[in-house]
Each structure stands twice: as C-alpha cells, then as structure tokens.
C-alpha cells in the first residue's frame, strides 16, 4: 500500500519568500525536511512492533526498509516488507527435559513446545543448528521441522496503526518545513 504525504504549497512559498534564494537552495531545504520526517516515521513504524514482540529492535528493522530523499527526487519512503516468519531462536528459547519454552509477546506469558529441542540434550545447543528450535513430526526420528514465530509484517498489519502513523507523518512534515523556515529567518537575522 502506498500513501503520499502532501507538502503544503503555502509553506513552500513562505520558505521561498524567507530565503529569497535559488531553486537549488530551496530544494535542499525541502530535502532536509523530508529526510527528517522519514527518520521520525521509521521510528514510529518500529514502535508498535517492538511493543508487541519480545525481540531485539535490530531483528525488527531487518524487515523495515527506508529510502531517503535526494535533491533530484523529492521523495522518501518507509516500507514494512513481507518477509518470512522470525525464527524462534530470536525469542529467547530455553530447552528442558520436556521441551522448549519461549516468549513471543511482551504482553503475554511464555509458550511451550512439548518434545521440542535445540540440541542433543537440555543446556547443550548444537552449534550447526544455530540455536534454532525443532520438533519431530510423527513417531519416527525424521522428519524434523524448524519452528518459527510471527513475521514483522504480520504484527504491523495486526496492530492497525497504519492510518495514525500516516497522519503523524503528515504533521511531522509540516513541522519540519516550519523548522526550516525558522532556521532561515534566524540565519538571515544573524542569530546563527
């Protein structure tokens, strides 16, 4: 889903009037405002996901892509990419004699996979398995399946924060352009 955030034409005219400069300098100021908005929006997208999932933010950020604005193209983006589910190894699993316990949600308790395993015995993790959690399917020793938690995209969609984040991005862009206007006024008055 793509949403465009509009720049208020009156603010741009006001910035142009205050600067009284070339279009290249005006473009530079607008680019700065757009990039600051993109950076803040990126943080706002991570918040609801980090509030739900009990994983490090670096794991979440691997599924969120941001593209900054350039002077040639005044456009920035923040995208939550549809990726595979996160491996249970990221949710601090603990193996005991009966299976593996893990915690996905910060708001709910730990869950348990009976007969799940991470290595040959409790407390020993097989290095080649990289801490992943497995469970045998059926009575024979094979096949075994790697267990996963939710995907970042799924948690973001379920959080239903998309509309409020877009409104906040629109407000933030307006605020950033206003900051650039104030900065130019201070610069011309000699205060900076």
Q: Is residue 51 part of a domain?
A: yes
Domain count, the chain: 2
Alpha-carbon span 3 to 78, nearest angstrom = 10
Query: pLDDT truncated to tens, each residue of the chain (192 aa)?
Result: 456 677 888 888 888 888 887 788 888 999 999 999 999 999 999 999 999 999 999 999 999 999 998 888 888 999 999 999 999 999 999 998 899 999 999 989 999 999 889 887 777 777 788 889 999 888 888 888 999 999 999 999 999 988 999 999 999 999 999 999 899 888 888 887
Angle at 104 between CA 98 and CA 105, to 5 degrees: 130
- Any idea what DSSP says for residue 85? P
Residues 20 and 77 placed together within one structural domain of the fold: yes
- 167 half-sphere exposure, CB direction, 13 A CA radius: 4
Residues 54 and 97 placed together within one structural domain of the fold: no
CB count within 10 Å of CB 175 equals 13
Residues 124 and 40 placed together within one structural domain of the fold: no
Alpha-carbon span 167 to 108, nearest angstrom = 29
Q: Is residue 3 part of a domain?
A: no
Q: Is residue 139 part of a domain?
A: yes
- Tokens representing 135 are 């469970």
Alpha-carbon span 147 to 145, nearest angstrom = 6
Q: Is residue 4 part of a domain?
A: no
Q: Which residue has the tokens 């900065």?
A: 183
Alpha-carbon span 168 to 164, nearest angstrom = 6
Q: Is residue 2 part of a domain?
A: no
Report the residue count for the chain: 192
Range of the domain at 55: 9-84+152-189
Alpha-carbon span 90 to 148, nearest angstrom = 9
- Model confidence, pTM: 0.81
Q: Which residue has the tokens 């100021």?
A: 29
Alpha-carbon span 132 to 145, nearest angstrom = 10
pLDDT of 192: 77
Burial of 49 (0-12, 13-18, 19+ CB in 10 A): buried
Residues 80 and 156 placed together within one structural domain of the fold: yes
pLDDT of 2: 56
pLDDT of 171: 94
Residues 51 and 75 placed together within one structural domain of the fold: yes
Q: Is residue 1 part of a domain?
A: no
Q: Is residue 25 part of a domain?
A: yes
Residues 77 and 117 placed together within one structural domain of the fold: no
Residues 16 and 109 placed together within one structural domain of the fold: no
Residues 105 and 118 placed together within one structural domain of the fold: yes
pLDDT of 166: 92
Q: To which H or E segment does residue 23 belong?
A: helix 23-52
Residues 98 and 133 placed together within one structural domain of the fold: yes
CA of residue 146 relative to chain centroid, distance: 25
């Amino acid at each position: 889903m793509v949403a465009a955030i509009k720049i208020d034409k009156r603010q741009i005219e006001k910035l142009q009037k205050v600067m009284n400069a070339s279009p290249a300098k005006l473009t530079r100021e607008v680019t700065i405002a757009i990039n600051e908005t993109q950076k803040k929006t990126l943080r706002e997208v991570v918040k609801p996901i980090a509030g739900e999932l009990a994983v490090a933010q670096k794991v979440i950020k691997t599924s969120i892509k941001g593209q900054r604005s350039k002077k040639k193209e005044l456009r920035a983006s923040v995208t939550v990419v549809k990726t595979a589910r996160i491996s249970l190894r990221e949710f601090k699993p603990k193996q005991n004699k009966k299976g593996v316990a893990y915690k996905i949600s910060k708001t709910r308790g730990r869950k348990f996979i009976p007969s799940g395993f991470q290595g040959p015995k409790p407390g020993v993790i097989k290095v080649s398995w990289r801490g992943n959690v497995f469970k045998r399917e059926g009575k024979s020793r094979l096949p075994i399946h790697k267990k996963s938690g939710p995907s970042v995209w799924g948690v973001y969609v379920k959080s239903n924060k998309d509309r409020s984040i877009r409104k906040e991005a629109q407000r933030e862009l307006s605020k950033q352009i206003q900051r650039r206007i104030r900065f130019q006024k201070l610069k011309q008055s000699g205060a900076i």
